Structure 1
Amino acid sequence: MDSFDVLVIGGGPAGYVAAIRAAQLGFKTACVDAFERGGKASLGGTCLNVGCIPSKAMLDSSEKYEVMQHDFADHGINVQGASIDLGKMLGRKAGVVDKLTGGVAYLFKKNKITSFFGLGKLVRQDGDGWIVDAAGTEVRAKHVIVATGSSPRELPLAPFGGHVVENSGALEFTQVPQKLGVIGAGVIGVELGSVWRRLGAQVTVLEALPGFLMATDDAVAKEALKQFQKQGLEFHFGVNISKVEQTDSGVSVTYTKKDKEVTAQFDKLIVSIGRVPHTAGLGAENVGLALDERGFVKVDGHYRTNLEGIYAIGDVIGGAMLAHKAEEEGVALAEMLAGQAGHVNYDVIPWVIYTSPEIAWAGLTEKGAREQGLMVKTGQFPFSANGRALGHGDPRGFVKVVADAGTDKLLGVHMVGPNVSELIGEVVAIMEFGGSSEDLARTVHAHPTLSEVVKEAALAADKRALHM
């Protein structure tokens, strides 16, 4: 029987990063993963295979088509007869995924990580270690890391299949739907809705909550919604779905909004109402691994479960279901196992929505800070006053800074606009070190760059923006 210092169950962002870092730290490491794409084993989990990476590839392709149709003329570039080759677009997406998943396989080989392709299942305790069924082969491990991720949540009225799809199915349409329904106005819903709207679909988004992107700052959510509606996305909030029926040609959705019943017809329906922990087949019941009432693996502040030597990280423990959060947990846990001080600061985890305009934020909203009893000051600066944004032809949106009124400590920064997925990084770095809005304002930013909007928003927190 093979024996390992560390065995990771799950090869997504949490699992493969934990395995790589553990191997770097000198542990004899293995990873067992059951993810398949196109009938073949593929490391990288949901994120690399059917989530973060392919969706961003499609967002980029569809954005180029959108810009060519509507924005090139402003630059004096005339294009006629533009069309899409959806098959080639999907092929490009698959190529990007192949490069990255292949890269993970290469990193496993480089770091001498043993891979088992198939289900990983906890079997029994063995002295100070654990026996795990790794794709049909029993192995022993001193430390077992559960990183099995999450799965799309099904709507009971609309189980996946046929014309009803989740995120992976929504990335594989072989033709652009004429009418596309999306249930759920969260990150996945608006990103995938944006892809197919740009390619020609009429998109309707149905959301049970009363408002849009309620986790971000109110001002950002309001601006983003205005921009999406301007693009042609149709939103309905506070809806209660009562019936979903599939036919040979599409899907019928009946919902109630403000006591009025409406029935809408769609060619395809994307259901994006969140994700649930993936623990099916893990063997938790075999060893007594504790799960909470929602099925998440219970852990303490050091990712330890109720069983000595078994740990859990990533989506399967709940919290923010973000690949970068999962990766950092993988690094932190591997370092803890090596006796180092691994740590993740959950207060400054960045969130990004890769639409156009992009949305990004970290830390507290103004409302959230006030609800905690904090006295705050805010600063806001628009991209419409920024030279690079104007030259680029995309002056939509703004940056908003939220700081403590007494100490000036940065509490949160919220952005909607061009390339804010990249701009949020410097804010997170400053917040990680407990920095202030003054630190952000005094940092020299290259001119002309979009990042100057971040600086100006920080200056505006003290009512001294220079260009507004």
Structure 2
Amino acid sequence: MSSQGMASAASTQSFDYDLVVIGSGPSGQRAAIQSAKLGKRVAVIERARSIGGVCVHTGTIPSKTFREAVMHLSGFRERGIYGASYRVKQDIAIDDLLQRVNHVVANEVDVIRSQMSRNRVELLEGSARFVDAHTVEVSSPTGSGTRQISTARIVIACGTEAGRDDHIPFDGQRIFTSDDVLGLKFLPRSMIVVGAGVIGVEYATMFAALGVRVTIVDKRPVLLPFLDNEVSTALTYIAQQHNVLMRLGEEVADIELLTDASKPVEVRLKSGKVLHAEAALYSIGRVGATARLDLQNAGVAVDDRSRVPVNHNFQSNVEHIYAVGDVIGFPSLASTSYEQGRAAARHAFGLLKEDADASIRLFPYGIYTVPEISTIGKSEDELTQAGMVPPRASAPQG
């Protein structure tokens, strides 16, 4: 059914809301505000203690603020002038890094809450679950009760959570995921990073800039293989210059937390090697935070990583239920999530032509390693494989 036909069909029934958004991250915010600007009755359901989603609390904003705190306090940018031993502060504690992060996060939450209020978007605090394709149950965060609301259209913008293996003894301090970094109570002197995806490599290079002895373990033979080979090779070289040890082409067999050991984290590799460190960051990717939504009650399909497959208009297999942001997978960027949310809302109310994502297929990709990397469009290898000879240019660093 076209978006115009869907909007007309929905208008013949009586609902509490025209649109309900599950999740208040970048994509959810924009879907809600765009719909409210169209004069629609909109509610956003957020289960976390504060609005903003992963972007504000554990992802984009805090991780980049954490990086800036690292770069400043470690004196990393000035070492070319003052020498490799230069630091703004000699003994950096985890609280030094998190103080600025918490300040920035608090300000961002205030901004989002103000935007929601100004646009008359109703915020419902609690956990959402589908009762059926048009009914959502909201459970109070205090456990005081539940309420059911009906809606003509729904946008799933619940984001993702760090992937975990059940057999690994996560404690949030010695063995942790990227969702736990901002809750650390101490700065380890050595750390093993399991998984060399974007998040893993970003944190690996940040901690290395602080002087932490970092070991990266990944089954792939190169870092970030989707980058141009020249860029990936340069990043690997620079990381190694900063005392990051690479264990590429290796798979983890098991991770244990030892007692009465100076390096209590033991990582055993399938090759037989055994690694020890004070802490381990487990970063094997992220999965959709959809498990608690009872999507089966609405007939919404998910893939093997609990993400919601969508068409080019961000519709799930149930046409009035949309999904946007990290929960639909690549590219999982705040910038593209904003546009996805707007596009989904406009399509839901018949204001967007088909092929909603045409304007956001070409997007810049920022990777906040040390040093940072930015790309846009296809890689040199992809163009070469397509029979094109791309022009090349390079400039010396500095």
| SS of structure 2 residue aligned to 1:281 | helix
Per-residue CA distance 1:84-135 (angstroms, 9 max, x = gap): 243233121111111112211111111110001111111124xxxx121133
| 2:100 aligned partner, one-letter code | R
Report whether the alignment pairs 1:33 with 2:60. no
| 1:255 aligned partner, one-letter code | L
Report whether the alignment pairs 1:230 with 2:238. no
Per-residue CA distance 1:429-468 (angstroms, 9 max, x = gap): xxxxxxxxxxxxxxxxxxxxxxxxxxxxxxxxxxxxxxxx
| 2:322 aligned partner, one-letter code | Y
1:360 alignment partner, one of 374, 380, 383:
374
Q: State the shift of 1:205 in Å.
A: 0.7
CA contact (8 A) 2:15 2:150 kept: yes
| SS of structure 1 residue aligned to 2:357 | coil
1:140 alignment partner, one of 142, 150, 153:
150
| SS of structure 2 residue aligned to 1:176 | coil
Q: State the shift of 1:290 in Å.
A: 2.2
| SS of structure 2 residue aligned to 1:235 | strand
Q: 1:81 to 1:211 in 2, by over 3 A?
A: closer
* Unaligned runs of at least 5 residues, structure 1: 36-40, 385-394, 396-468
CA–CA distance in 2 between the matches of 1:333 and 1:264?
A: 47
The aligned counterpart of 2:269 is 255
| SS of structure 2 residue aligned to 1:324 | helix
Alignment of 1:74-153 (within 5 A): 82-125=90-133, 130-135=134-139, 136-153=146-163
1:8 alignment partner, one of 13, 16, 21:
21
CA–CA distance in 1 between the matches of 2:157 and 2:80?
A: 43
CA contact (8 A) 2:383 2:390 kept: no
Alignment of 1:254-403 (within 5 A): 254-256=268-270, 260-341=271-352, 342-371=356-385, 373-384=386-397, 395=398
Greater RCO, 1 or 2 (C-alpha within 8 Å, sep 6+): 2
1:170 alignment partner, one of 177, 181, 188:
181
CA contact (8 A) 1:179 1:266 kept: yes
Q: State the shift of 1:72 in Å.
A: 4.5
CA–CA distance in 2 between the matches of 1:223 and 1:79?
A: 25
TM-score, normalising length from structure 2? 0.87
CA–CA distance in 1 between the matches of 2:88 and 2:52?
A: 40
CA contact (8 A) 2:201 2:369 kept: yes
2:82 alignment partner, one of 73, 78, 85:
73
The aligned counterpart of 1:53 is 61
| SS of structure 1 residue aligned to 2:351 | coil
Q: Once the two structures are aligned, what percentage of the paired residues are identical? A: 28
| 1:275 aligned partner, one-letter code | R
CA–CA distance in 1 between the matches of 2:373 and 2:191?
A: 23
CA–CA distance in 2 between the matches of 1:158 and 1:79?
A: 36
Q: 1:197 to 1:357 in 2, by over 3 A?
A: same
| 1:352 aligned partner, one-letter code | G
RMSD (Å) for aligned C-alpha atoms: 2.2
TM-score, normalising length from structure 1? 0.74
CA contact (8 A) 1:148 1:316 kept: yes
Q: State the shift of 1:167 in Å.
A: 0.7
The aligned counterpart of 1:433 is none
CA–CA distance in 2 between the matches of 1:182 and 1:212?
A: 13
The aligned counterpart of 1:446 is none
CA–CA distance in 2 between the matches of 1:376 and 1:138?
A: 58
Per-residue CA distance 1:235-273 (angstroms, 9 max, x = gap): 1100021121112352100114xxx52111111100111
Q: 1:83 to 1:245 in 2, by over 3 A?
A: closer
Alignment of 1:426-445 (within 5 A): none
Q: 1:12 to 1:204 in 2, by over 3 A?
A: same
| SS of structure 2 residue aligned to 1:171 | helix
| 1:153 aligned partner, one-letter code | G
Residue-pair matches, total: 369
CA contact (8 A) 1:65 1:198 kept: no
CA–CA distance in 1 between the matches of 2:127 and 2:220?
A: 37
CA contact (8 A) 1:332 1:344 kept: no
Q: 1:298 to 1:89 in 2, by over 3 A?
A: closer
The aligned counterpart of 1:408 is none
* Unaligned runs of at least 5 residues, structure 2: 1-13, 140-145
